[in-house]
Amino acid sequence: MRKDVRILLVGEPKVGKTSLIMSLVSEEFPDEVPPRAEEITIPADVTPERVPTHIVDYSEAEQSDEQLFQEISKANVICIVYAVNNKKSIERVTSHWIPLIADRTDKDSRVPLILVGNKSDLVEHSSMDTILPIMNQYSEIETCVECSAKTLKNISELFYYAQKAVLHPTGPLYCPEEKEMKAACVKALTRIFKVSDMDNDGLLSDLELNFFQRTCFNTPLAPQALEDVKNVVRRNMADGVQDNGLTLKGFHFLHTLFIQRGRHETTWTVLRRFGYDDDLELTQEYLFPPLKIPPDCTTELNHNAYLFLQSVFDKHDKDRDCALSPDELKDLFSVFPYMPWGPDVNNTVCTNEQGWITYQGYLSQWTLTTYLDVQRCLEYLGYLGYPILCEQESQAAALTVTRNKRIDLQKKQTQRNVFLCNVFGARGSGKSGFLQGFLGRNLMRQKIRHEHKSYYAISTAYVYGQEKYLLLHEVLPDTDFLSETDLSCDVVCLLYDVSNPRSFEFCARLYKNHFMDSRTPCLLVGAKADLPEVRQQYSLSPLDFCRKHKLPAPQRFTCNTAEAPSRDIYTKLTTKAMYPHVTQAEMKSSTFWLRASLGATVFAVFGFAVYKALLKHR
C-alpha cells in the first residue's frame, strides 16, 4: 500500500477549488479566499486510512500549463471540480479536463478521477442525472461527490473518497463494462482460496473461513454472521455453497459483490494481506524478506518449516501413496506463477517405481533449494503462503542460518544437518552413476535423457542414529580451473574407474593441486568395481597413494547390482563431513566411535521424539 497520497484539484475558475481545501482545513467557510491555496499536508493520524495526504490546488491565473502538467504527472488522484449551478463548468469536464489528463498520463497506469460538484447549497436539484452518463463513459472515474464548501456538506467525504481511490482503486479489480472482476483479480483470489483451503477439498469450511477472517481482519466471524454470508451466496448462485462450505465460485462472487457495493477496500485488505501490490503482483518485500547470511554459513529449513511442508504434501497426496503423481504435483504448484521443478528434479531426489517424487524426495528437494538458493526458497514458501498459514512475520522464520564452519572446527562439533560433497573424476569415471546410486537406483534404472540430467543428488544418510542430508554435486572434469564454489564443500569424493588405467591419475593430480593442504576431508572411490581391476598408469597405486597422504583406503563401488547399490560409502562420506577435525588414525580409534555413539544417542532420542510428532501429525 502507498505510503502517502497526493490529491490534485483542477477545474474551471471560480468553481470553488480553493474554498473546498480551506473549508476542510479550517472546518469553516473562509471570509477571504486567495487565488490559490498552498500545498497542504494532512498528517497520517488524522486521516481515515492513516496515510499522510498532500492536497494540491491549481489556479489558471497563478500557474502555467507546464506547471499544471507537472502536477498532473505527480498526482495519485485528480479531483475535477465543477459548480452544480454552472452548466459550462460541467461541459468542460468532458470537453477539456478528462482529455487533457488522459494525454498527460500513462495509459497503462491511469490516474483515478473524482468528479466533485461544488456549490450544492445554491441549487435545489442534483447534477447526478447529467454526471452519471459521464461516469459510465469513462472507466477512470471512481465516483462523484456533490458538496458545498460553504455549508461543509460532504467536504470530509470528498477527500476520504479521493484517498480511497488511491489506496483501494477499483480499476485493477473490476471491469464496469463487463460487470465482472478482471482476470488478474480472479487469478489472485484463486490463489488465496487455494492457500486458505487447507484440506484441499475445494471448499472453505467454517474453520477455514474463520481462520481466513482472523488472518485478514484480526477478528473471527460469529456463527450467525458466517451463516448469513453463506446465505447471501446461496440466494445468488446455485453452486456457491456445497456441503456447507464456500466454493471457489462462491468466493469470487462475494468479492464481486463487495466491489459492486463500493466495499472494494475489503477485497484490497485480503489481497494485501496475502502479499499483493496495486498491480496485483506479489510484492518483492513479501517474496524476498530480508535474511542476513554471514560468510561461511549455510541455510537450512527448521523443524517448523518441515512440518509446514509436510502438511502441504499431505494436502495434495490424494491417494495417500506417499508420492506425488504428475497431476498432484501440478495441483501443489498451482499457486505458483510458473512450474518451479523441472524433469531434472526426478533425477535429483528419490522417486518410486513410477518415477514419481516420494515424500522423502520432496523434502530433499526443498532442503537442496534452501541450501543452494535460499532466495528461491523464500520465494517458493511465499507462494505457498507460509507466513499466513504459520502466522509468522515472513517466511524467513522458516530458516536457520548455521554458524560459521570455523567455529564447528574449533568446537569439534556441528549443529548442521545438511552437508555438501563435491564429486570429482575424469570423464567416464562413473560420477553420474555414483550420484544416481545414492538415490537407490542401480544401473538398470539409470536411463536418463541428456536434457533431464542433474548434477546434484540429495538424500538422507544415518550416522550413528542421526539423520543427515548429504548433497552430492558432480563437478565437471576440469583440473586447470576450479572455482571457489568447486573447492568449497564439506567433503570431497575423488572417483576413478578401476577398469580404466588412466582414470586414477586425474584424481591424484587434482588432490595434489587443490586438496593436499586443505582441511577438507577427502575419500577416494574406485567405481565400476564389478569390472576387472587394472593397474593404474601412475607412479603410485591408489592404495599406496592413500597411505602416503594419510587418506582412508580407496572404497570400492558399483551400481551394477540386482538391488539398490550399497549405501555404506555414502554414510562414510557423511561421517567425514560431520567430523572433519578427526584424523584417519582417530577414525580407527574405538574411543572416537564411543564418543560419537554417545553423542549420537542423545540426537537419536531427540530424533525419535520428532519422528513420533511427525507421525502423529500425518
Beta bridge partners of 396: none
User: Cα separation of 121 and 146, whole Å?
Assistant: 10
Q: Is the pLDDT of residue 93 over 90?
A: yes
Mean pLDDT of 249-263: 93
Domain-located, residue 138: yes
- 479 plus 437 within the same structural domain: yes
Q: Is the pLDDT of residue 608 over 80?
A: no
- Tell me which residue range forms the domain holding 333: 292-401
- If one counts the domains in the chain, the total is 4
| Residue where a domain stops, chosen among 242, 260, 281 | 281
CB-CB contact of 179 with 56 (8 Å): no
Q: What is the DSSP string of 147-179?
A: -BTTTTBTHHHHHHHHHHHHHS-STTTEETTTT
- 380 plus 243 within the same structural domain: no
Residue type, 384: L
- Structure confidence at residue 592 (pLDDT): 52
| Residue where a domain stops, chosen among 281, 316, 334 | 281
Q: Is the pLDDT of residue 363 over 90?
A: yes
CATH code of the domain in which 456 resides: 3.40.50.300
| Residue where a domain stops, chosen among 380, 401, 422 | 401
User: Cα separation of 579 and 282, whole Å?
Assistant: 43
- 331 plus 304 within the same structural domain: yes
- 161 plus 192 within the same structural domain: no
Domain-located, residue 606: no
C-alpha cell at 115: 468528479
- 19 plus 161 within the same structural domain: yes
Q: Looking at mean pLDDT, say which of 35-49, 488-502, 572-586 comes out highest.
A: 488-502
How many other C-beta atoms lie within 10 A of the C-beta of residue 584?
Answer: 15
- 48 plus 136 within the same structural domain: yes
**Closest Cα to residue 188, out of 295, 277, 66?**
277
Mean pLDDT of all residues belonging to the chain: 90
- Structure confidence at residue 108 (pLDDT): 67
Mean pLDDT of 291-307: 95
Q: Is the pLDDT of residue 228 over 80?
A: yes
Q: What is the pLDDT of residues 8-52, one digit of tens each?
A: 999 999 999 999 999 999 999 988 899 999 999 988 887 777 889
Lowest mean pLDDT, pick from 102-116, 172-186, 473-487: 473-487
- 393 plus 308 within the same structural domain: yes
Mean pLDDT of 483-495: 91
Mean pLDDT of 550-564: 93
- Structure confidence at residue 612 (pLDDT): 46
Domain-located, residue 610: no
- 120 plus 24 within the same structural domain: yes
- Structure confidence at residue 532 (pLDDT): 95
- 360 plus 433 within the same structural domain: no
Q: Is the pLDDT of residue 589 over 70?
A: no
- 364 plus 464 within the same structural domain: no
Mean pLDDT of 480-503: 91
CATH code of the domain in which 376 resides: 1.10.238.10
C-alpha cell at 281: 503482483
Q: Is the pLDDT of residue 597 over 60?
A: no
Q: What is the DSSP string of 246-300?
A: E-HHHHHHHHHHHHHTT-HHHHHHHHHHTTB-TTSSB-HHHHS------TT--EE
- 142 plus 195 within the same structural domain: no
Mean pLDDT of 130-149: 90
Q: Is the pLDDT of residue 60 over 80?
A: yes
Lowest mean pLDDT, pick from 136-140, 433-437, 573-577: 136-140
Overall pTM surpassing 0.95 (yes/no): no
- Structure confidence at residue 584 (pLDDT): 55
Q: Which tops the pLDDT comparison, 194 or 518?
A: 194
**Closest Cα to residue 503, out of 532, 535, 531?**
535
CB-CB contact of 42 with 171 (8 Å): no
245-252 contacts at long range (C-beta below 8 A, 24 or more positions apart): 245/201, 245/203, 245/204, 245/205, 245/206, 245/208, 246/203, 246/204, 246/209, 247/202, 247/203, 248/190, 248/193, 248/202, 251/189, 251/193, 251/204, 252/181, 252/186, 252/189, 252/190
Mean pLDDT of 191-212: 96
Q: What is the pLDDT of residues 509-520, one digit of tens each?
A: 999 999 998 889
Q: What is the pLDDT of residues 389-426, one digit of tens each?
A: 999 999 999 999 999 988 888 888 888 999 999 999 99
Q: What CA dihedral angle connects 411, 414, 415 and 421, to 10 degrees?
A: 160
**Closest Cα to residue 163, out of 147, 142, 181, 182?**
142
Residue type, 225: A
CB-CB contact of 59 with 67 (8 Å): no
Mean pLDDT of 327-334: 97
* CA dihedral (266, 271, 273, 274) positive or negative: positive
- 16 plus 143 within the same structural domain: yes
Q: Looking at mean pLDDT, say which of 219-233, 302-316, 402-416 comes out highest.
A: 302-316
